[in-house]
Chain A
Amino acid sequence: MTKITSSIIGERLPKLDAPSKALGEATYGHDVRLPGMLQGRILYSDYPSARIINIDITRAIKVTGVKAILTAEDNPPTRFGYGKDNTPFKGQVVRSMRDEVAGVVAVDQYAAEEALSLIKVDYEPLLSIFTAKAAMEEGAPLIHPEHGSNLFHAYNYNHGDIEKGLAESDVVVETSFRLPYVSHACMETSVIIAQFDHRGQLTLWSTTQIPSLLQRDLSEALGIPGNKIRIIQTTIGGAFGRGLDIYPYEPIAALMALKVGKPVRIAFSRQEEFLAAPVRQPVEVSVRAGANQAGILTFRDVNATLDIGAYVSWGSVTPLVMMETTASLYRIPHVNFKADCVYTNNPVTGAVRGYGNPQSTFFVETVMDQLAVELDIDPVEFRLRNSNLPNTETPQGLIITSCGMQECLEAVFARADKESDAKNHIYKDLNLRNKGIHDSTKDNYLKRGIGFATTLNVGGGARIYRSDGCGATVKVDDFGHVTLITGATEIGQGSETVLAQIVAKTLGVKFGDVAVINSDTDVKPWDVGVHASRTTFIAGNAARIASLDARDQIFETAAEILETNPSELVSREGLIMIRENEQRSESLERVVRRRHFQEGGKVVIGEGWYDPPTEQVDKNTYKGNISAAYGFGAQMAEVEVDIETGMVRVIRLVCANDVGLAINPMAVEGQIEGGAQMGLGYALTEELIVKDGEVLNPHFSDYRLFTSADMPDIETIIVETDDPEGPFGAKGVGEMGGTPTAAAIANAVFDAVGVRITELPITPERLLAALDNN
């Protein structure tokens, strides 16, 4: 018998869900149709801040096909959301232009739209607040008077002593930054279908990333017990953090369904998606940092103000991540971090991939570059000297075990072109320049430069809730078919594939024999949600534990058949064998049937629950080991700047990431490339323009995502450090691809033309203005 060899872990396997998506077979939220289903539409506020005097629906309700019109009178008496400051519909006052004033249920979109246009709302406009600064001024009107202040929360972190750090510094830089609103820009707009059955059971077809928590949130928002709420997740056409919270349209759909006794679907138009879905929070930051002559960091002092919008969503918690970057990216003895999260009449801010990290990595890594220039030290060398190191604990309490930060930096640096002359370069020591532009006339206005940035990201979950756990069940049926039922959610990141690889390897079956069920709260075990780059690590460990449990059951029976001890057995590709004598084997399905079909028989079901050995940060000091592993990365951007037009073209982006171990290198590359695409947009083209509370570019023609045609070559480098806690040594990689990109590009722009851009995106006009001022 030939020896069967199969690695599965580390193989470049195509994603399990890719063919059905490519062939149009996948059922997205927008594809769900239920018998008798009606369409719900929402009327948003005309003002960023106003008192609602009257809502007249007399004409709207008469439109043919309209079944019901809902207003705040239909609200349950409860409030919901992280800040308990939100209701489905707004009754007395509206606080932003995305405030829900009324909702129409109709047989189709046309009737619903006509009715929307006929609802007459009388407003009394109120004084509005559009900047965090104005919101904090003495006597400013209160967005939520019951909160007593427009300051929702002030974060205040410290380790070491800034004054001491300042005294130890030979160079100090101080820079202010402004960061923009950014949209998730998911291909599938927000959508939900709500249905009540005769028992009062509510079923929702949803694209949420937090099915277990959403049950709880909706229970609170609707005043329905959580055990009466079932969430079925459809194929999700893009999430990127959008699905991390409850939003008013979700309870609204349920209220509509309750009112009309029929299933109701709310599907956002693209414009509505830009206007009413959450956004990445804009930040104003001032950063002061120092280093000594030896090129060692002395201190970092950060003051941030976040405009969180009119209601609290996860945008107000992103300082926890900004704080982590500020306090723990590089070894740094003295750190202060302050962040004020402030209510305004602007759009609600939520969680977006990277969750505060693209912002903080941008300001931290720009300042790192400034320090390197001040010290006249090669910026890569400067970073290496201060790099995070394996098996260390940061003053913040992060316990860093595996750490490939230096390897990542060295790997991207090795890809830099060192052959050509350095006449454009600010960094004298680097002596790098890529060839390409030889035309003498063009050479006058096209300047090339390279820039670097690193990133630190949680890679082993993030305990922001009291449990960071995930449950898993592995079932093996009498055909030897394996089903993993996991709490984890597939949002296009490839979790189904990676989890199936982990199960197949652990159980010793073929990759193709594992199916993944992950979309129904009535079936799947609890999971805190898909966020914080945690799924491979947390759900992977849970799947592995469940697989080991199932394997024990199988080996117990196989040992009886093969007349040996379970400890003598191994399994591979669906065969159970004696380790020392692989000819003696039995097929998995026969073992399962033997176990099953006998008196007192049992089915093979393995259970797994993994909650990492971490802690929530202390409520006052914000210290603690929030993650069981940390991921690291470095990027090098090479840019070409047109100094007459201000255009920046990224020629190359080299991305190295320490992922512990790549369970599926192709999926890892996909995550890095996808992250880089968002990072490139954040750096150069993406901005949701909000003026006086209103979004001015709610469409893809003026909200400029990086398209495939704009993408530079992305060179990915996988650095493996074999994490001690991760499944097969793996760590999370979901967010790191995009976090250092803007900083690397801005640093490359500086290298090319000698100006620091501290406001994103780096638009041609912004860059030209900076060049003018230089």
Chain B
Amino acid sequence: MKPFEHHSPNSLEQAFDLITQDDNNSYYYAGGTDINLQLKSGILAAESLISLKNLSELKGIEYKENNGLKLGALTTLRELQRTKTIYNHYPALSQAAGLMASEQIRSFATLGGNLCNAAPSADLAPPLIALGAIATISSKFGEHKVPIEDFFLGPGETVLEEGEILMQITVPPPNGETLFIKHTPRMFMDISVVCIAIRLLMNNGICNEIRIALGAVAPVPLRAVNAEAELAAQPFSSNNISRAAQIAAEECSPINDIRGTAAYRRRMIEVLVRRGLSSLNENYSKV
């Protein structure tokens, strides 16, 4: 690891000013759990690191029944896991956070960091996509909003431009049942071979809204729109559940790596989507 400058700005303005337009070697960071490894392994050579930890604009968890959930980008995984309102209203998000890394890392790692690091296997992305969450992005030139499903451009790449900071994630009020399934050889402290999140809203036995999001099976976290279409406005049956699961497997474009082959990942998507849909459907049947 090479020596670098370190800044801890106390205001958003200072943070913006620390990165100039054509500055390619300065990086914003929050928990530091990803960037630290990248620096140590030499993947990243930074001249300066800018900590966002002191910025109050990026902090806070606020839930309102009508507006939903507002999460500051600095919200830690541990907070996502342990905050009661999140656990009660957005269990898939809470579970995804709780299954990541270790207790120690979860205390440092942040929501914003997980999204901005943009690993295809970022576990928070699928539940946020399924929930229809929206990112608020700021720079010294203003603010704009991007749905999380459009936030990722490729491995390690997001819509963030130089000098932009991910400020906040807004999650609409809970609407339907959600679920997150992570498939890993180990039970904890493992990176997803694949993961899925589903949100389902059933009215009178008919699928009113469905969102299926897939992780670690494409360059970016993915929405399985064709699989969703297969189920829209219909009652669930084992037939259309199986078909939707197959379609979801076809929609993804996984790679071979040391965590799994493309074929295995595709197959797991089919298994998990089928199990996820069946399980959500069962929940509705029980009501």
User: Which residues in A have some Cβ–Cβ distance to B below 8 Å?
Assistant: 110, 113-114, 269, 271, 441, 644-645, 647, 684-685, 689, 696-697, 701-702, 704, 706-707, 709-710, 763-765, 768
Taking CB atoms, residues of chain A closer than 8 Å to B190 are 701, 704
Taking CB atoms, residues of chain B closer than 8 Å to A696 are 258
The answer, yes or no, to whether B214 is at the interface (CB within 8 Å) is no
B280 smallest CB distance to A (angstroms):
13
B67 smallest CB distance to A (angstroms):
36
Residue of A nearest to B260 (CB): A765
The answer, yes or no, to whether B286 is at the interface (CB within 8 Å) is no
Q: A697–B258 contact, CB under 8 A?
A: yes
Q: B1–A644 contact, CB under 8 A?
A: no
* Contact sample, A vs B, 16 pairs, CB 8 Å cutoff: A110-B2, A113-B1, A271-B41, A441-B282, A645-B183, A685-B186, A689-B258, A702-B258, A702-B259, A704-B190, A706-B186, A707-B188, A707-B189, A709-B188, A764-B264, A768-B267
- The one of B187, B260, B268, B278 that contacts A710, using a Cβ cutoff of 8 Å: B187
Taking CB atoms, residues of chain B closer than 8 Å to A684 are 185
Q: A765–B264 contact, CB under 8 A?
A: yes
A688 smallest CB distance to B (angstroms):
11
Taking CB atoms, residues of chain A closer than 8 Å to B268 are 645
A180 smallest CB distance to B (angstroms):
13
**With the chains together, A697 CA to B3 CA distance in Å?**
26
Q: B185–A764 contact, CB under 8 A?
A: yes
The answer, yes or no, to whether B166 is at the interface (CB within 8 Å) is no
User: Which residues in B have some Cβ–Cβ distance to A below 8 Å?
Assistant: 1-3, 40-41, 183, 185-191, 258-261, 264, 267-268, 271, 278, 282
**With the chains together, A686 CA to B40 CA distance in Å?**
24
**With the chains together, A764 CA to B189 CA distance in Å?**
17
Known: A110-B3, A441-B278, A768-B264. A709 touches B185 (CB 8 A): no
Residue of A nearest to B190 (CB): A704
Q: Which of B2, B187, B188 has the most CB of A within 10 A?
A: B187
Residue of A nearest to B267 (CB): A768
**With the chains together, A696 CA to B189 CA distance in Å?**
19
Dominant secondary structure of chain B at its interface with chain A: loop
Known: A271-B41, A685-B186. A701 touches B191 (CB 8 A): yes
Taking CB atoms, residues of chain A closer than 8 Å to B258 are 689, 696-697, 702
**With the chains together, A689 CA to B259 CA distance in Å?**
11
Pairs A-B, 3 closest by C-beta atoms: A709-B188, A644-B271, A765-B264
**With the chains together, A709 CA to B187 CA distance in Å?**
7
Q: B261–A765 contact, CB under 8 A?
A: yes
Residue of B nearest to A772 (CB): B267
Taking CB atoms, residues of chain B closer than 8 Å to A685 are 185-186
Q: B271–A645 contact, CB under 8 A?
A: yes
**With the chains together, A269 CA to B39 CA distance in Å?**
14
**With the chains together, A702 CA to B259 CA distance in Å?**
7
7 other A-B residue contacts (CB within 8 Å) besides A645-B183, A689-B258, A765-B261: A110-B3, A269-B40, A271-B41, A701-B190, A710-B186, A764-B185, A765-B264
Residue of A nearest to B3 (CB): A110
**With the chains together, A764 CA to B1 CA distance in Å?**
36
Taking CB atoms, residues of chain A closer than 8 Å to B41 are 271
Q: A707–B2 contact, CB under 8 A?
A: no
**With the chains together, A114 CA to B188 CA distance in Å?**
36
Residue of B nearest to A766 (CB): B264
Known: A441-B278, A765-B260, A765-B264. A709 touches B1 (CB 8 A): no
**With the chains together, A114 CA to B261 CA distance in Å?**
37
Known: A645-B268, A765-B260. A704 touches B185 (CB 8 A): yes
Taking CB atoms, residues of chain B closer than 8 Å to A706 are 186
Q: B271–A114 contact, CB under 8 A?
A: no
Residue of B nearest to A271 (CB): B41
B10 smallest CB distance to A (angstroms):
28
Taking CB atoms, residues of chain B closer than 8 Å to A701 are 190-191
Taking CB atoms, residues of chain B closer than 8 Å to A271 are 41
Taking CB atoms, residues of chain A closer than 8 Å to B260 are 765
**With the chains together, A701 CA to B190 CA distance in Å?**
6
B224 smallest CB distance to A (angstroms):
19
Q: B187–A114 contact, CB under 8 A?
A: no
Q: Which of B1, B261, B271 has the most CB of A within 10 A?
A: B271
A631 smallest CB distance to B (angstroms):
30
B187 smallest CB distance to A (angstroms):
5
Q: B185–A763 contact, CB under 8 A?
A: yes
Residue of A nearest to B278 (CB): A441
Taking CB atoms, residues of chain B closer than 8 Å to A113 are 1-2
A677 smallest CB distance to B (angstroms):
13
Q: Which of B2, B185, B188 has the most CB of A within 10 A?
A: B185
**With the chains together, A467 CA to B24 CA distance in Å?**
63
Taking CB atoms, residues of chain B closer than 8 Å to A768 are 264, 267
- The one of B1, B186, B189, B259 that contacts A110, using a Cβ cutoff of 8 Å: B1
**With the chains together, A555 CA to B187 CA distance in Å?**
59
Residue of B nearest to A705 (CB): B186
B270 smallest CB distance to A (angstroms):
9
Residue of A nearest to B271 (CB): A644
Taking CB atoms, residues of chain A closer than 8 Å to B261 are 765
Taking CB atoms, residues of chain B closer than 8 Å to A689 are 258
Q: A707–B271 contact, CB under 8 A?
A: no
Taking CB atoms, residues of chain A closer than 8 Å to B188 are 707, 709-710
B109 smallest CB distance to A (angstroms):
13
**With the chains together, A701 CA to B260 CA distance in Å?**
14
A264 smallest CB distance to B (angstroms):
21
**With the chains together, A768 CA to B268 CA distance in Å?**
11
**With the chains together, A633 CA to B261 CA distance in Å?**
38
Q: Which of A110, A269, A764 has the most CB of B within 10 A?
A: A764
A108 smallest CB distance to B (angstroms):
10
**With the chains together, A684 CA to B186 CA distance in Å?**
9
Taking CB atoms, residues of chain A closer than 8 Å to B183 are 645
A692 smallest CB distance to B (angstroms):
14
Residue of B nearest to A685 (CB): B185
Residue of B nearest to A646 (CB): B264
**With the chains together, A269 CA to B37 CA distance in Å?**
12
B214 smallest CB distance to A (angstroms):
16
Residue of B nearest to A698 (CB): B41
B76 smallest CB distance to A (angstroms):
19
